[in-house]
Amino acid sequence: MNASTQTRQAILDALDAAREATPHLPALDIARRLSISEGELQAARLGRDVFTLPLSPHALASRFHRLGEVKALTRSRHAVLEQQGCYPTLRGSEQAGLLLDPGRLDLRLHLTQWHWTCLIRDRMPGKEGGTVQRLSVQIFDRHGIALHKLFSLAAEPPKTWQDLRALASTQEPAFTQAAEPLPRALPTVPTLDEEWAQLSDVHQFFGLLNRHQLRRHEANALMEGRFTRALHLGACETALREAARGELPLMLFVASPGCVQIRTGKVPAPQRMRGWLNLFGKDFTLHLDDANIARAWQVHKPNRDGGVTSLEAFDAQGGLVLQIYAERREGQGERREWRQLLDGLDAREAAA
C-alpha cells in the first residue's frame, strides 16, 4: 500500500466513522475536521460511491432540466441557500449559463469556474428505519470548493440519472491550494464616482469593478456617503424580520465562485438555531451564520427605472456572504417600502 493509497484509506475511515456517529453531518464539516477540501474528501470515494462525470460544464448543466425534482444548494462561506423544484432549460453560453425561473429555481452559472463534477450515491437514514439511497450531482472548483449541489428528491429518479451513471468514470481530479487575497490599503479611483453615477443597468457594475480591479467591498467603501451606507452588523436580521412582518417579497442572492442562486418571494420570520439565523420556507431554507458578518452595506445602483438598492453582507476577508433586494421585474421601479426599510435601519438599531 503506497502513501497515496494510505491517505485515501485514512480519509475513508474517518468519513465512515463520522457518518456512523452522525449520519447527517455535512461533508464540508467532515472535510474541515480532516484539514482537507470538500472536493478532496469526495474524490477519496472514487470508485466506491463517487464517480467523475466526464462532461463539459455546459453539457452537464444542459441536462439539469431532465433530472426531475431536486434540492438545489449553493453556499457562500457563511450562508447556505437550499430550494426544491425543477430546473428550467439552460440558456447562455459555454462560459456563462442562465437557469431563469424567477420565484422558482433561478441561477447564474459561472461555468469557467467548474473544475470537477461528480455523481454521488450516499446511504442515508430512512424515515421509517433502515437506509435509503440519495443521488446527487456536485460541482467543485480547482480548489475543491463546492460550487453547487443538486440532490434527487424522487422516490424513483428519472432515467437521466441512470444515463449519467453510464457516462461516469473513476478519473481523479487534481486540486490546488486556495489562497486568500492579500489585504491591501483602499485604492484610489478618482473616476469611480462619475462612472457609478452613469450606470444604467445593474449588470454593468461587474465591468466597473473589473476595469479598476476592485473587489465589491472596496467599491462600497470608496462610495460611502454617495451611493453606499455602512450599516449595523445586525442589519440582515432586522431587514429579514421586518420584511417577513410586512410580507415584503425579497430576492435572496447566495453566491459561490461558480454559481449564484436566487430565491424570490415572501419570507418567513427568521428563527435562530445553534447560533445561525434561518428562514424555513415551504420550498426553501436559508441558513445564515451572521456572527461572521464583518461589514454590512446599503448599496444604491442607478438604472433606467430609478435605481435599485441592496443590502450586502461581507465577511472579514471581504467575501460576499448574502445580498438582498426587493422583488422587482425588469422595467419596474423599486418598491418604496424596501427603500424605507433600509433607510430606517440605522435609527432602529441605534434606538435598540
pTM: 0.94
For the stretch 6-25, pLDDT in tens is: 799 999 999 999 999 998 89
DSSP string, 210-244: HHTT--HHHHHHHTBTTTEEEE-TTHHHHHHHHHH
**What pLDDT is recorded for position 350?**
41
Q: How many CB atoms lie within 10 A of CB 154?
A: 12
Measure the CA–CA gap between 186 and 206, rounded to whole angstroms. 18
For domain 192-351, give the fold: Heme iron utilization protein-like fold (3.40.1570)
- For the chain, what are the domain ranges? 3-90+114-167, 192-351
Tell me if 3-90+114-167 shares its fold with 192-351: yes
CATH entry, 3-90+114-167, from 3.40.1160.10, 3.40.1570.10, 1.20.5.510, 3.50.30.30: 3.40.1570.10
- Convert the pLDDT of each residue in 263-320 to its tens digit: 999 999 999 999 999 999 999 999 999 999 999 999 999 999 999 999 999 999 999 9
Quick one: pLDDT at residue 180? 84
Tell me the CA end-to-end span of the chain in Å, nearest whole number: 62
Query: pLDDT value at position 349?
Result: 41
Res 133: pLDDT = 87
Mean pLDDT, 10 residues at a time, over the chain (352 residues)?
Answer: 73 94 92 96 96 98 97 98 98 96 96 98 81 93 98 93 96 92 92 96 94 96 96 96 98 98 98 97 97 97 94 97 94 94 71 40
Query: How far apart (Å, rounded) are the C-alpha atoms in residues 44 and 164?
Result: 20
The pLDDT, as a whole number, for residue 131 is 80
